[in-house]
Amino acid sequence: MRVRLPPRESIIHNSLYDFEISKEVGFGAFSRVYRAISRPLGREVALKIFSMDKLGPDDQLLVANEIELHSKLRSKRVIDFLDFFAEENRVVIVLEFAAHGNFYSYIKTHPPMPLSEIVRFFRQVTEGLSFLHSKGLIFRDLKPENLVLDDQRNLKFCDFGWATTMQNLRFRAAKAGTLVYMSPESVAGLVQDDKTDIWALGVLLFEMFFNREPYAASSQPELMHMIHNTKPDFSSPVNPIPPQFVSLIQRLLSVNPSHRPSASEILSMDLS
């Protein structure tokens, strides 16, 4: 492991032997997530385990970045960061366990969602973005897979690998996230600000009504072209979509970032 990890503020766990691991509950490009019981904490947790020897230097930096940023965040809209440690060639992040899984699975298994539920989830995601932006952070990888549902079915943000501070101009200019949720400025490799998250919020809101993304293409170049040049098709929604939400999605998916509302502006809107 070549990357330097942030210093540990408190030491709760030192080894995977501190846990009773029950089963794998998810995986990503760089990690696997397990449901477990923490013996020191006496509670259920999620273990996000990175095999660092399988990651290149840039990807190892993303792991360190995730720990550095996520460990400092405390919000009802962010999954609790409890601890982390390194063991052999692994880095383990200990997180609050999200009882109802990720939001992608929820969207796919609960169509059509009532309008009241769409509004509630949309507001919770926007609250999360507003919190992050108030801390000078850009999430840069907003998608249903990076949102989880707690035991009350409230949404929380997880996976801060691509997040960055507004001060980090070099990282802000890097393409980040999943292509279908990436803003035009991210696709073009331009410097991004908080409005890149607002674009992804528009994609997510569209997906809640239509159970699909607004752009579908057979190749990455075609998808990149559509993100820059194609208006979403609002026909055949899975859930009936009121006119004010069509207008809102169109604003969120403005190619010009300055035409997108901020998260705080969205929270002041009457969406009932």
Q: What positions carry a catalytic annotation?
A: 141
217 and 223 in contact (C-beta within 8 Å)?
Answer: yes
* Distance, CA of 115 to CA of 108 (rounded, Å): 16
Cβ-proximal residues to 188 (8 Å cutoff; 6+ apart), any chain: 228
* Distance, CA of 205 to CA of 123 (rounded, Å): 10
* Distance, CA of 166 to CA of 217 (rounded, Å): 32
Question: Tokens representing 191?
Answer: 């410097």
Give the burial string for 73-100 (b: 16+ CB within 10 Å, else e).
bebebbbbbbbbbeeeeebbbbbbbbee
Q: Measuring CA to CA, which residue among 182, 168, 141, 163 is closest to residue 72?
A: 163
CA atoms within 13 A on the CB side of 271: 23
* Distance, CA of 148 to CA of 242 (rounded, Å): 26
The total of other beta-carbon atoms located within 10 Å of residue 115's CB is 17
